Amino acid sequence: MKKFKWLFILLAMMLCMTAFAACGAPEDPPVAEVPAEPGYTAEAPGEGPASASDITSVGGVPLVTLNNGVQMPRFGLGTQIQELESGDLGILNQTARESVTAALQAGYRHLDSAHGYMNERGVGQGIVDSGVPREEIWLTSKLWPSEYDNAYEAIDDMLERFQTDYLDLVYLHHPAGSISDIESAWRDLERAYREGKIRALGISNFDNRMEAFNAIMDEEIKPQIMQIECHPFAQRIEARELAERYNIQVECWYPLGHADQRLLNSDTLEAIASAHGKSVVQVIICWHIQEGFSVIPGSTNPDHIRENIDIFDFELTDEEMAQIRAMDEGENGRFFNINYDGFMGNYFVNNPPREWNGEFTN
Ligand SMILES: NC(=O)c1ccc[n+]([C@@H]2O[C@H](COP(=O)([O-])OP(=O)(O)OC[C@H]3O[C@@H](n4cnc5c(N)ncnc54)[C@H](OP(=O)(O)O)[C@@H]3O)[C@@H](O)[C@H]2O)c1
């Protein structure tokens, strides 16, 4: 049964999506209860292994200064390979390893992984294979909700899987489970941050559960980054305003709509792409950058990986930006809108990611 677990998660998510589509858009997101802190600055990360970090701009990728003074490249590789998650974890990790090596060799210096993607070992091995020094790379991972009640140990396990002694960014992946477990996980992240094991802290998908969002905003160190679904069909205006109120950088997942064909074949985007001699995907990534997002398009195809970073030699005009903004379908344009108070919330807490302890072959 175990090997069908991730397939089951995907099916359950698809059911949620269908239910969401049938019910239409949800009500307006509730407003945060905690007073906003515009211009919020967080204490800097403590001295520790992470002090070795040496991030610079490579390949024209802009850096953003986060609310704790740390600089992050605003473009990176998304490493989730959903179609392999229910299969052989050795193949999954080998695929992640190869795409990470291709990306680092193409100039990428930001990698987005997660325990839930079951690929951290592959990502870590890809870094080693690439020959790029660890300190020059922004490495992100995410704690899974089943780990929230003992997050401090889970961070050490994560470091071991990546073969590294620090992470640049760790998210709480989903606002699932009890608020007290979420708060306890956040305090463990704060501890690791103060010990110089993590350079920035993030919340992922917390825009879907304001109770959890507000709880984190009450903590001593507020997040530097918030990861949300965001692409031209779902431009997430309310969630972006929420982030801005707390001086939090937004990072977009599904930035290409997970290769949704209606998006990639849009007439508007095709016309803009041909005006610049670029591909539709390049135009979408350029739009993300010009909107101020951090963006992590996923790919396992080395040609696509190189194409996606080749965007820093052109700019979209104000009119083109306006045309893409007009593609926003609001909440209806989202592909996932999980209700964490329901079945999925409990499911995430009770189902840890599968572990792979095999050996890589060359
Ligand atoms: N926090 C969360 O809950 C959450 C949820 C989902 C995703 N994420 C993160 O966000 C990242 C991005 O999401 P995603 O990878 O699912 O979706 P995505 O980046 O929107 O789209 C990826 C898809 O686009 C295709 N693609 C990429 N470059 C292309 C190109 N130049 N031309 C044509 N097709 C191209 C890829 O296929 P090829 O492999 O063939 O290039 C893949 O099928 C993930 O990898 C993950 O790191 C986070």
Domains of the chain: 2-350 (3.20.20.100)
Residue whose CA is at the smallest distance from ligand 1 atom 5:
253
- If you measure from the C-alpha of residue 204 to the centroid of ligand 1, how many angstroms do you get, rounded to a whole number? 16
pLDDT value of position 32: 55
pLDDT value of position 82: 96
The response to whether residue 147 sits with its C-beta less than 6 Å from ligand 1 reads no
Q: Which residues pair with 110 in a beta bridge?
A: 138
pLDDT value of position 22: 32
Distance CA 62, CA 137 (A): 14
Residue whose CA is at the smallest distance from ligand 1 atom 43:
259
pLDDT value of position 362: 80
Residue whose CA is at the smallest distance from ligand 1 atom 37:
299
Give me the helices (H) in the chain, please. Answer: 5-23, 89-105, 120-130, 151-162, 179-194, 210-217, 237-245, 261-264, 267-276, 280-291, 302-309, 318-325, 343-350
Q: For 5, left (φ over 0), alpha (ψ -120 to 50), or beta?
A: alpha
Quote the pTM value.
Answer: 0.92
Q: Is 117 an active-site residue?
A: yes
pLDDT value of position 345: 85
Local structure of 222: helix, strand or coil:
coil
- If you measure from the C-alpha of residue 296 to the centroid of ligand 1, how many angstroms do you get, rounded to a whole number? 8
pLDDT value of position 37: 78
Contact in structure between 256 and 266 (CB atoms under 8 Å): no
pLDDT value of position 23: 30
Residues 6+ apart with CB under 8 A from 163: 124, 125, 127, 128
The response to whether residue 255 sits with its C-beta less than 6 Å from ligand 1 reads yes
Q: What angle do CA 298, 232, 27 make, to 5 degrees?
A: 110
Distance CA 177, CA 189 (A): 17
Token pair recorded at residue 129: 């294979």
Token pair recorded at residue 130: 């690439």
The response to whether residue 258 sits with its C-beta less than 6 Å from ligand 1 reads yes
- Residue 113 CA: nearest ligand 1 atom is 47
- Containing 100, the helix (H) or strand (E) segment is helix 89-105
pLDDT averaged per 10 residues in sequence order, the chain, 362 residues: 43 39 38 70 97 98 98 98 97 98 98 98 98 98 98 98 98 97 98 98 97 97 98 98 96 98 98 98 98 98 98 98 98 93 88 95 83
Q: What is the largest CA-CA distance in the chain?
A: 53
- If you measure from the C-alpha of residue 82 to the centroid of ligand 1, how many angstroms do you get, rounded to a whole number? 9
pLDDT value of position 27: 41
Residue 230 CB-density burial (10 A; 0-12 exposed, 13-18 middle, 19+ buried):
buried
Residue whose CA is at the smallest distance from ligand 1 atom 48:
253
Residues 6+ apart with CB under 8 A from 337: 16, 17, 20, 26, 208, 331
DSSP 288: H
pLDDT value of position 361: 86
Distance CA 350, CA 313 (A): 47
pLDDT value of position 7: 44
